[in-house]
């Protein structure tokens, strides 16, 4: 377990590094689990994109807005996800001039496994740190990073 500190003499740059390290530890564990279940081609950004597609489907423009990226960037991501079998493009039943991006069974499976995995990983943190500390950490992070400040435009962070 990492050394504990009273926080009094911590350098300011350590907070974002520790937050990112915690994020990466969860994401890396999630992707090992997904790979073991047939989703070895998934990158962290794809989960954000599949969430933006949603259960009802969405147009490329809507996906771009939800992710905070251009329609063209969203289209490239959709192309990749379609090539991997996670989404499909279909005619929009309400507007025959536009295409709707929908999750395939493979995309639904990946999201379901991700949800189960995140619950399991959170339970591991609770087992290590205690429910009260994890709950307090989550509450503190919600307070310091309100939902309005959260954007799903992290795709470029995971390129490579």
Tell me the per-residue pLDDT of 77-108, one tens digit each, with 9 for 90 and over.
999 999 999 999 999 888 878 889 999 999 99
Whole-angstrom distance, CA of residue 50 vs CA of residue 110: 9
Mean of pLDDT over the chain: 87
Give the three-state DSSP class for 40.
Answer: coil
- Predicted pLDDT of residue 80: 96
132 backbone dihedrals φ, ψ, rounded to 5°: -65, -45
Write down the pLDDT at residue 94.
Answer: 83
45-73 pLDDT tens trace: 898 899 999 988 999 899 999 988 888 99
Residues 6 or more apart whose CB falls under 8 angstroms from that of 81 comprise 46, 49, 50, 87, 107
Lowest mean pLDDT among 108-112, 113-117, 150-154: 150-154
Question: Of 29-38, 91-100, 130-139, which range is least confident?
Answer: 91-100
């Amino acid at each position: 377990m990492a050394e504990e500190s009273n926080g009094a003499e911590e350098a300011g740059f350590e907070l974002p590094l520790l937050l990112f390290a915690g994020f990466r530890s969860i994401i890396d564990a999630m992707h090992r689990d997904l790979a073991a279940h047939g989703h070895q081609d998934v990158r962290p950004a794809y989960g954000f994109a599949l969430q933006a597609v949603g259960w009802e489907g969405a147009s490329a423009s809507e996906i771009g807005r939800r992710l905070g990226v251009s329609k063209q960037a969203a289209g490239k991501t959709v192309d990749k996800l379609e090539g991997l079998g996670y989404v499909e493009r279909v005619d929009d039943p309400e507007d025959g001039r536009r295409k709707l991006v929908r999750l395939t069974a493979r995309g639904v499976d990946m999201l379901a496994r991700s949800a189960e995995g995140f619950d399991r990983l959170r339970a591991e943190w609770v087992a290590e740190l205690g429910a009260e500390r994890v709950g307090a950490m989550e509450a503190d992070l919600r307070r310091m990073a309100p939902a309005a400040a959260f954007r799903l435009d992290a795709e470029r962070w995971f390129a490579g």
